[in-house]
Amino acid sequence: MREADVEEARRIFRVAFGTFIGAPDPESFWLDRDFVGPRWRANPSGGVVAEVDGTIAGSNLATNWGSVGFFGPLTIRPDLWNQGIAQRLLGPTLDLFAQWGVRAAGLFTFSHSPKHIGLYQKFGFWPGYLTAMMSKDAAGSDIGAIRYSALEEAQRKQALDACRRLTDSIFEGLDVTAEIRAVAAQGLGDTLLLWGGDTLDAFAVCHCGEGTEAGSDMCFIKFAAARPDGKALPRILAASEALAAERGLRRMQAGVNLGRRAAYRQMLEHGFRIDALGVAMHRPDSAAYNRQDVFVVDDWR
């Protein structure tokens, strides 16, 4: 994917998803959200496109989280569905995972679509636990979280190192610091950090408002992690809500894999409710960090 391809890839994304879910006007579906541009700008090497007669037929975006990689949105122009184009995009995507040395690859897809699940099974991805996409009104209070945006350069490096140590303790090699840098560089929102002395107890990477993965009036927690005792997860959720309220955003969005049972229970106790369910698919067929003792909020959407 080249920079000149991004806007058309974004349009195809909107039309494809809008058509699939039956939106009355797919061309205007999710105009306020952008899942393509920010991901491509964060890692241009992760974007691939398919062309038919010199025009873009579809695209896919691969995300590199160290030892973990996932892809999406994978979208094809509706007039070209069922012609094998998605399979042509998956080959180069898997090549990227191999180049990056990914140990656990995955994706999020529609749990009610045998067609999608069957497609990805052909490439060695197998369905695991359901993933809950959740939301609530933003009503949290400021509990003293540090904003990554407010840090000096040396402090930012220390914060990134601490985030990397926390995620590595959850799943060896898991590293989402590229997401933190992308949010800062592109002005997508902010990253919140909760310290317990010299130890990072939790952090959350948040997209805020129109033109991000959140959309208008929304704060989307793209990724959050807390230490294994889980005590800091409610606090980082509250801090994320405070960020949303400060920016005049009414609603929170976040996802959690239901294999992380304790984290899911904490989100329910915090007031989050399920809007929709998808399914995580894994290659190889393993749980990765979707375990009951893991306090991570993300959904690979």
DSSP 80-124: GTTSSHHHHHHHHHHHHHHHHT-SEEEEEEETT-HHHHHHHHTTT
Domain with residue 139: its CATH number is 3.40.630.30
pLDDT in the model for residue 139 = 87
- Report CA-CA distances (Å) from 140 to 67, 81, 136, 156: 33, 43, 11, 25
pLDDT in the model for residue 60 = 98
Asked if 37 and 142 sit in the same domain, the reply is: no
- Using alpha carbons, select from 109, 8, 115, 96 the residue that is nearest to residue 51: 8
Q: Report how far residue 56's alpha carbon sits from residue 49's, in angstroms, rounded to the nearest whole number.
A: 7
Asked if 93 and 185 sit in the same domain, the reply is: no
Q: Is 110 a domain residue?
A: no
pLDDT confidence bin for 4, thresholds 50/70/90: very high
- The residue among 59, 77, 102 that closes a domain is 102
Residues 237-292 have pLDDT tens digits of 999 999 999 999 999 999 999 999 999 999 999 999 999 999 999 999 999 999 99
- Using alpha carbons, select from 224, 228, 248 the residue that is nearest to residue 238: 224
Asked if 181 and 271 sit in the same domain, the reply is: yes
Asked if 19 and 167 sit in the same domain, the reply is: no
Q: Is 122 a domain residue?
A: no
Q: Is 29 a domain residue?
A: yes
Q: Report how far residue 160's alpha carbon sits from residue 271's, in angstroms, rounded to the nearest whole number.
A: 29
Q: Which residue has the tokens 């105009």?
A: 31
Asked if 170 and 274 sit in the same domain, the reply is: yes
Q: Which tokens is 193 given? A: 């950090």
Asked if 84 and 144 sit in the same domain, the reply is: no
- The residue among 82, 102, 122 that closes a domain is 102
Burial of 277 per CB tally in 10 Å (0-12, 13-18, 19+): middle
Instruction: Report how many domains make up the chain.
Output: 2
pLDDT in the model for residue 254 = 98
Q: Is 116 a domain residue?
A: no
Structure letter (DSSP) for residue 78:
G
Q: Is 129 a domain residue?
A: no
Q: Is 237 a domain residue?
A: yes
Asked if 72 and 143 sit in the same domain, the reply is: no
Asked if 160 and 82 sit in the same domain, the reply is: no
Asked if 27 and 97 sit in the same domain, the reply is: yes
Asked if 88 and 172 sit in the same domain, the reply is: no
Greatest Cα-to-Cα distance within the chain, rounded to the nearest angstrom: 59
Q: Is 97 a domain residue?
A: yes
The boundaries of the domain holding residue 162 are: 135-279+289-297
Residues 200-226 have pLDDT tens digits of 999 999 999 999 999 999 999 999 999
Residues 114-141 have pLDDT tens digits of 999 999 999 999 999 999 999 999 987 7
pLDDT in the model for residue 242 = 95
Tell me: cis bond preceding 284? Omega within 30 of 0 counts.
yes
The letter for the amino acid at 252 is M
Asked if 87 and 201 sit in the same domain, the reply is: no
DSSP 15-42: HHHHHHHT-S-GGGTTTTB-SSHHHHHH
- The residue among 55, 81, 102 that closes a domain is 102
Q: Report how far residue 82's alpha carbon sits from residue 243's, in angstroms, rounded to the nearest whole number.
A: 43
Predicted TM-score (pTM) of this structure: 0.97
Asked if 196 and 142 sit in the same domain, the reply is: yes
Q: Is 82 a domain residue?
A: yes
